[in-house]
């Protein structure tokens, strides 16, 4: 029998597949954004400033980090450095996506850079690796499909949180959204020993450095964990080459 070529997705079908895959994240992004809106107004920002913060940065972890440090009257340089360090993972996301999206038009890549989120990256990289036959337009359509439900939810719920401000009762416990979001993203991506080593090292170092002022212990843990993961990857590759 003649070999059959794998069926490729059209950009339209890829987009809706992305919407389907990214949709469930709204369940945690919504409360996450709502919590940020509430905390931002409690910290002294008005509704416009809070919404502008989310639109300009669109990076939950960095926003929470910067907000917390600002509340603690942390020097501006440390606030900026901490937010930048938290978002350094986006540079790694970008480098990882470049082989799949690098041939797209510049304006599409610029938009993709803005919408590179934990959710869009996690969905996209798994889809692209599982479906290497996807065309560049289909990959880009899938990528934007993953953020189609997530980004608007982030904006809308930030606005709602800022609008209702301190009227949200503590019994709602919205802070559950932050750890659940990252657990949902992290667990499927711990696929190699190097990933597991980096995760373990980051946990240990962050606990040991918990007393470092201005939450800099998290930055220290992140740097050491990346170094540990990279070194583990080098050792593993050397052993594979040797065998």
Nearest to 50 by CA among 188, 222, 165: 165
pLDDT at 171: 65
Q: Which two tokens stand for residue 161?
A: 């949180």
> What is the per-residue pLDDT for 146?
96
Q: What are the structural domain ranges in the chain?
A: 11-189, 190-243
Return the higher-pLDDT residue of 1 and 18.
Answer: 18
- In terms of pLDDT, which residue wins out, 217 or 144? 144
The model's pTM is: 0.72
**How high does pLDDT run on average in the chain?**
84
Condensed to tens digits (0 to 9), the pLDDT of residues 154-197 reads 999 999 999 987 676 666 655 555 566 556 556 666 667 888 88
Band of pLDDT at residue 106, cut at 50, 70 and 90:
very high
pLDDT value at residue 172: 63
- Range of weakest confidence among 7-16, 18-27, 122-131, 133-142: 7-16
Nearest CA among 142, 141, 128 for reference residue 100:
128
Nearest partner of 153 among 25, 18, 36, 41, judged by Cα: 25
Mean pLDDT check: name the lowest of 81-85, 142-146, 158-162.
81-85
Q: 4-8, 28-32, 145-149, 189-193: which has the highest mean pLDDT?
A: 145-149
Three-class SS of the chain? CCCCCCCCCCHHHHHHHHHHHHHHHHHHHHHHHHHHHHHHHHCCCCHHHHHHHHHHHCCHHHHHHHHHHHHCCCCHHHHHHHHHHHCHHHHHHHHHHHHHHCCCCHHHHHHHHHCCCHHHHHHHHHHHHHCCCCCHHHHHHHHHHHHHHHHHHHHHHHHHHHHHHHHCCHHHCHHHHHHHHHHHHHHHHCCCHHHHHHHHHHHHHHHHCCCCHHHHHHHHHHHHHHHHHHHHHHHHHHHHHHC
Lowest mean pLDDT among 48-62, 115-129, 141-155: 48-62
Q: Looking at residue 48, what is its pLDDT?
A: 92
At residue 80, the pLDDT reads: 81
């Amino acid at each position: 029998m003649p070999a059959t070529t794998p069926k490729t997705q059209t950009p339209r079908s890829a987009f809706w597949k992305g919407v389907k895959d990214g949709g469930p994240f709204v369940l945690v992004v919504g409360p996450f954004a709502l919590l940020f809106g509430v905390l931002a107004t409690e910290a002294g920002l008005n509704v416009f400033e809070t919404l502008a913060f989310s639109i300009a940065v669109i990076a939950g972890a960095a926003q929470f980090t910067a907000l917390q440090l600002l509340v603690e009257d942390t020097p501006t340089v440390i606030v900026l450095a901490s937010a930048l360090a938290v978002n350094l993972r986006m540079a790694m996301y970008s480098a990882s996506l470049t082989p799949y999206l690098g041939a797209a038009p510049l304006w599409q890549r610029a938009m993709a850079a803005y919408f590179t989120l934990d959710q869009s990256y996690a969905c996209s990289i798994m889809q692209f690796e599982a479906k290497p036959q996807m065309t560049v337009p289909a990959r880009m359509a899938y990528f934007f499909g993953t953020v189609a439900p997530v980004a608007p939810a982030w904006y809308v719920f930030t606005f709602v949180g800022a609008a209702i401000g301190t009227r949200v009762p503590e019994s709602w416990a919205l802070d559950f959204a932050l750890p659940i979001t990252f657990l949902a993203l992290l667990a499927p991506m711990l696929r190699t020993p190097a990933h597991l080593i980096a995760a373990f090292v980051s946990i240990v170092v962050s606990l040991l450095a918990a007393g470092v002022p201005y939450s800099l212990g998290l930055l220290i843990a992140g740097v050491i964990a990346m170094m540990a993961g990279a070194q583990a990857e080098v050792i593993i590759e050397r052993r594979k080459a040797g065998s």
